[in-house]
Structure 1
Amino acid sequence: MSIPEDESGAQPNVGHDPLVFEPGDSATRIVEEWLERPALRLLVERFGGTWPSKGGVVHRLEALHEFSVVWDRRQGASRLHIVEAVEGAELADLVLKAAQELGLVVQPPLQRRSYDWAFVLGGLATGCLSRVQALSALITAGTRVDGVALLGSFRQLQDEELATLSDESFEALTEVVTLQAASDRWLHTADWAEQLTGNLVSDPRRASFRASAEGMHGLNVHAFASASSEPQKRAANTADTYHTAVAELSPGSGAHILLVTSRIYRYQWLDAIRVLGRPCELSIELYGTESGANSRRSFGPSWYLQELRSMITSSLAVLR
């Protein structure tokens, strides 16, 4: 059983969909359209699951979330610790084709020429560098953004990430500083005005950071690391940084946000709809760097299975 091809033998032009949310759009319809793609059911059944064909969309997502534990390659650890565990070329090829149909591979052209803000998401060091560099390329090619927010954290970089930075002549020990260093190189920022609130040593989960600088073409660039909204349970997450950016920058209702991440992390668009799009009435479009193209990291089948689980989790969260 395989993903259907057209009469020429080529894969259908699926998964190239622009990810744009406008105020008033139905999150339910967005999720339902994704669930209706044949590739997801094919993967579930190929990995021994039963497709949940009855009940409402939330009920089906709950069943898929329970099943998708089989795709959890992290077990709570860093994405750097994902181990390739898909055996056999045929199954690996099926996963990669399904990931394309499900929109985790190809980034189509942007739908607008100008945005009020570009929100660049942090992550692993490779992602931080690639996303800032990709935004610079978009601006150089004519895309206009009125301001940039680099959304990072105080997470300490691991040895593999430090080696990546060293290879490209960067110096940074944390995620947010990596974003700033990338901005200095590709957005031409300098002389950051920085403000730290709280104590990173004694109470890091309640500490926050903001820095501002002027970049290329007079661009206003801000870097944020947020305090955790649940410091007793966890460090700050992406949603916390979304909240901080909106509170600090006050984009008005109807503002256009360009969310810059990696295409494999399509779920972050759903998180942005939940945290920013609906409550703040913001337009949100995702631009994702592509594996093997303008991304420094190439992703194997296990990575895509992991992020399909993330898609299911975020789909459930945006509808609850």
Structure 2
Amino acid sequence: MPLAGGSFATDANTIVDGIARWIDSAPLRGLVDRFGGPWPDGNLAAVLGGLDDFSGRYWDFRGGRERPEAREPDLDPVTTASVRAAADALGLVRAVPPARARYAHLLVLGGLAHACLRRVAYAAHLLRRGVRVAGEVAVLGSFRPLSEAERRTLAAAGVTGGDTEVDALDAAVRLAFGVSRPAEQDGLDAGHPHHSWSSRTYRPAGTPPVRVLAAPSSEPERRRAHTADTQRFWAGHARLASGDEVLLVTAPIYVPFQHCDALRTLALPYGCGIDTVGADPAVPDLARLPEPTLTPGRYLQEIRSAIRAMRALYAASTADA
């Protein structure tokens, strides 16, 4: 199924049409029916609100916690198969290659330690295989503390001494691009990680500059920086122009929701085209790196994330209507 909002879309009407197709699709309708929910009545805004509420009751296994702390639901075999089939049809399972050979910028989205290693390695692989980037490769994260499990993941890959997500991303850049120290550094230590930021730019031979950026939170009293915060913060540092095409690298399971976040934070305000891809596990460089088990609960949680991201994108797309 095409990404909600469409790849490279910058027009609000095109984005809304794409949201409607994804939301009103047979796989999502079938999944809601499988969990006993009536399909919400009303226009697209009402349906999005209803699905947000429904998924909050039945598919939210985090309860405000970080993803590794989410519980796994006890589902029967038929429901498990239905979840996996729906996730595949909705674009959360299979990796799709970039649609273009050339982009203005390449963004790598941060995450858990294993994701930092895999996504940065995939970005380096794309550059080696001929994807051209006119501007920079930006690796986006935050000062989220690493868990003990993440530290063990990094240690197994030969990385020690990191304390935060951005440390894991920095280590991943050094491993994947063969660099040892940044050419430029900047930042602000505000005394609290939710307020602080940092920027480290590497200049590997034969590739565009690689910037590792830790963003502050837009709601520092409530939470750490999230994906949309990192994208907005990067946009404030990059010289984006209307018509620029930006490639985002994440994991397949997060493509639908993070694509919508990028449309909201980059495409609508800047007029940038967005192509969002998941790191391909078949790439040899990724085969040696740790990969988590993707369970039915994980897929349901990220289908909910996609619904919520589309609700926010719809609101932004129709704000002036």
Calculate the TM-score normalised by the size of structure 1. 0.90
State the distance in 2 between where 1:121 and 1:302 align. Answer: 22
Mapping of 1:210-249 within 5 angstroms?
A: 210-249=199-238
Change (3 A) 1:216 1:188: farther
Q: Specify the alignment match of 1:23 in structure 2.
A: 10
Change (3 A) 1:91 1:15: farther
Mapping of 1:44-123 within 5 angstroms?
A: 44-52=32-40, 54-69=41-56, 70-123=58-111
Pairwise CA distance, 1:235? 1.8
Q: Specify the alignment match of 1:278 in structure 2.
A: 268
Pairwise CA distance, 1:292? 8.1
For structure 1, which segment, 108-117 or 58-67, has the greater mean C-alpha deviation from structure 2 after superposition? 108-117
Coordinate RMSD, CA, aligned: 2.0
Pairwise CA distance, 1:216? 4.1
- Number of residue pairs aligned between Structure 1 and Structure 2: 304
> Partner of 2:116: helix, strand, or coil?
helix
State the distance in 1 between where 2:3 and 2:224 align. Answer: 34
5+ residue gaps, structure 2: 316-321
Does residue 312 of structure 2 align to residue 317 of structure 1?
yes
1:14-50 CA-partner distances (Å, limit 9, x unpaired): 5799961332262211111101221111111111111
In structure 2, what residue type is equivalent to 1:64?
L
Q: Specify the alignment match of 1:303 in structure 2.
A: 298
For the 8 Å contact 2:9–2:15, the answer to whether it is kept is no
In structure 2, what residue type is equivalent to 1:308?
I
Pick the aligned partner of 1:177 from 167, 172, 186.
167
> Partner of 1:149: helix, strand, or coil?
strand
1:62-116 CA-partner distances (Å, limit 9, x unpaired): 0111110110010111111123214222211110011001111112232100111
Pick the aligned partner of 2:117 from 129, 141, 145.
129
Q: Percent identity?
A: 34
Pairwise CA distance, 1:194? 2.0
Change (3 A) 1:18 1:298: farther
Change (3 A) 1:216 1:260: farther
Pick the aligned partner of 2:155 from 140, 149, 166.
166
Does residue 252 of structure 2 align to residue 263 of structure 1?
yes
